[in-house]
Amino acid sequence: METGTRQNTEHIDVSYVAHLARLHLADSEIQVFQKQLDHILQHVHMLTHLDVDHVEPTAHAMPVENAYREDDIRPCLSHDEVMDNAPNGRGGLFIVPKIIE
Amino acid sequence: MKYKVSIGLETHVQLKTRSKIWCGCPNRFGQPANTDICPVCLGYPGALPSLNREAVRLTVVTGLMLGSTINRRSKFDRKSYFYPDMPKNYQISQYDEPFCTGGHLNINVNGGSKRVEITRIHLEEDVGKSIHFEQSSGVDFNRAGTPLMEIVSEPELESPDEAFAYLTALKQVLLYGDISEGNLEEGNIRCDINCSLRPMDSDVLGSKIEIKNMNTFRGVHRSLVYEIKRQIGILDNGGVIQQETRRWDDDSGLTSIMRTKEHAHDYRYFPEPDLMPIVLTSEEIDAMRSAIPELPADRRNRFAVEYGLPEYDAGILTSDRDLADFYEAAAKISGNYKAVSNWIMTDMLHYLSEEGIGIDKIKITPEALAELVDLVVQNTINMPAAKKIFRILLESGGKPTAIMEDKGLAQISDSDSIDVFVEEALSSHPSSVADYRSGKKAALQFLVGQVMRLSKGKANPRAAMESLKRRLDSGDPGN
């Protein structure tokens, strides 16, 4: 497993994140988003003034655990349906621009 | 200079479930491209994953077999990943709360054994398969969403042989636990290799080279032999190893660079919002623990002690769970542990490799083998007849006694019947009689052979020999 670097949440570098997300932003857009994100983070930063020592970190608002599905097979889509929206298909495959590793 | 080699393996194992990890599409190999898929496999907007309970169970059972700590609480995370074989642009994996932490695997290498520590075991989804053409690439998503368990070892393997032994032992555990089909040709077990070298007297690990996507154990061995030699060449010439990812080409026998650290991915893990955390109770974990089978190494030791088998035989018989089950069933019925082992170790394994089939396809039953051993022990049949019957049992199955009667293979042991053949043998071969009496004891073997021939193989060879000796030594040639 490779571990990705986790960025400090005090500041989000919009141009870096945009690059990672394959988003092409104009300089003016970067400035707008940077300012907006900084505001949001400032707001969230208020949490640091609270005593959360006894609060478990959570990623979900709902107190639900163990939402399992039993290991049963259900119907798939038909191959024709699957390929319907593909801009380019050949030999049953989705054709994409040549992948370079 | 002398270097110390450190190898760690990240092994990806496709789990043996009926359906995929997040949806009800079948988890199977070899279907026409893009036929076993649905909106979840294709990452359509709004499609939500739903966790397959069996995939969790198999991961936890693997952890229990490897002595891992099973984490009471686990969760899934998103790993950003931009590649056409993953339409969601993220792979659901586990980051900081995997199902299993720690553990170990005992490996046998060069006559010794070694304990290799396991770092962690987590569960994730497999991605689609891409096929590269001249101008474009094609993607088949049938594999997308196959439950994929990743087992990460500590970098404690110190040679290509140890890496090979680790994978062999791991596969054996996976097959024993019925965790995976374990079919390498179908990509059920694949691994990434980390390999670094450092001077013998250094404690600091050298720069890590990663070799991606290995799908044969032999390839892992070969690529490591090459890679270690390559790195020694650089270090001996005063060079520096750059941390990088390399690719192995099995045809040319070379590794080549894929990407360097500068372009390393920033995976941006964050908790998967579409899946709820998993909390396992100690009752659930205990229930899974009580269901795990005996491990290959434990069974090998038990076979040696309980059935008095040589280490070598015990190792072969326990190399495959079905084979071990077969032996144990036959041994228990027969009580003649060594004879049962001999039949399996020689004739049966030879037949399996000749036919290129597994023990699951064999026609003979453990009951039939036990009965055959019994017939030999009780002198009802002799060894050549037993071999004939065994061959029939392997090819067509059936009951040994019925086959013996059907083919007239019962051994003739009563002295009156044997004496008839003995007398004929002696009278037809006076020169052999003379040879024996003049001290050429080997002539006796020839005469035993004649008795066997005359009886069409049915005479009890020991009874024949005794009868012959009695007559030859007493000076009564019988003619």
pLDDT in tens, B419-428: 888 888 888 8
Which residues 6+ apart lie within 8 Å of B448 measured at CB?
A: B461, B464, B465, B468
Confidence of residue B479 (pLDDT cuts 50, 70, 90): very low
Q: Considering CB atoms only, which of A62, A66, A83 is closest to B34?
A: A83
A95 touches chain B (CB under 8 A): yes
Mean pLDDT for B23-50 is 96
For the purposes of burial, counting CB atoms within 10 Å of the CB of B79, is it exposed (0-12), middle (13-18) or buried (19 or more)? Answer: buried
Q: How high is the pLDDT of residue B458?
A: 80
DSSP-derived secondary structure letter, A75: -
Residue A39 lies in a domain: yes
pLDDT, average across residues B370-379:
89
Rounded to the nearest 10 degrees, the angle between the axes of helix B400-407 and helix B383-396 is 110
Q: What mean pLDDT do residues B7-35 have?
A: 97
Q: Which of A2, A68, A71 sits opposite B267 (nearest CB)?
A: A2
Quote the number of domains for chain A.
1
CA-based nearest distance A28→chain B, Å: 25
Contact B164, B217 (CB under 8 A): yes
Tell whether A94 is covered by a domain.
Answer: no
For domain B415-474, give the fold.
Arc Repressor Mutant, subunit A (1.10.10)
Residue range B132-138: mean pLDDT, rounded = 92
pLDDT of residue B260: 56
- Please report, for residues A88, B102, B143, B451, the alpha-carbon distance to residue A98 in angstroms, rounded to integers and kept in the order given: 13, 40, 20, 77
Band of the pLDDT at B203, cuts 50, 70, 90? confident
Say whether pLDDT at B110 is over 70. Answer: yes
Q: Are the C-beta atoms of B104 and B118 separated by less than 8 Å?
A: yes
At B378, list the tokens: 């009780």
- Tell me the average pLDDT across B148-171: 96
Q: Identify the closest residue of chain A to B98 by CA–CA distance.
A: A1
Q: To the nearest whole percent, how much of chain B has pLDDT over 90? A: 64
Rounded average pLDDT over B97-108: 95
Instruction: Determine the residue among B25, B34, B83, B244 to mutate to test chain A binding: the one whose Cβ has the most chain A Cβ atoms within 10 Å.
Output: B34
Domain range enclosing A27: 8-49
Parallel, antiparallel, or unpaired: how do β-strands A68-69 and B51-52 relate? parallel
Q: Could you tell me which residue, B28 or A12, shows the higher pLDDT?
A: B28
Examine the pLDDT at B476 and tell me if it is beyond 90: no
- Looking at every residue in chain B, the average pLDDT score rounds to 91
Does some domain include residue A73? no
- Provide the pLDDT for residue B451: 86
Backbone angles phi, psi at B12, to 5 degrees: -100, 125
Q: Which residues of chain A have pLDDT under 70?
A: 1-10, 101
pLDDT of residue B413: 74
Among the partner residues A5, A82, A99, nearest to B34 by beta-carbon distance: A82
Confidence of residue B262 (pLDDT cuts 50, 70, 90): very low
Pick among B9, B15, B139, B191 to test the A interface (most A CBs inside 10 A): B139
- Looking at residue B232, what is its pLDDT? 94
DSSP assignment letter at B157: B
Residue A22 placed within a domain: yes
Task: Give residue B457's pLDDT.
Answer: 79
> Starting from the edge strand earliest in sequence, which strands make up the sheet with A89-90, in order?
A89-90, A93-97, B136-140, B129-132
For residue B219 the two structure tokens come to: 């390839």
Per-residue pLDDT reduced to its tens digit, B277-334: 999 999 999 999 998 989 888 999 999 999 999 988 999 999 888 999 999 999 999 9
Give ipTM to 2 decimals.
0.84
Q: Considering Cα of B293, then B297, then B301, then B303, what sign does the dihedral take?
A: positive
Q: Give residue B116's pLDDT.
A: 97
Query: How many CB atoms lie under 10 A from the CB of residue B421?
Result: 22
Cα separation of B436 and B418, whole Å? 20
- Min Cα separation A51/chain B (Å): 23
For A61, the closest chain B residue by CA position comes to: B273
Distance, in Å, from the CA atom of B219 to the CA atom of B419, rounded to the nearest integer, reads 63
Q: Would you call A24 an interface residue with chain B, using a CB distance cutoff of 8 Å?
A: no
Domain coordinates of chain B in residue numbers?
3-284, 294-407, 415-474
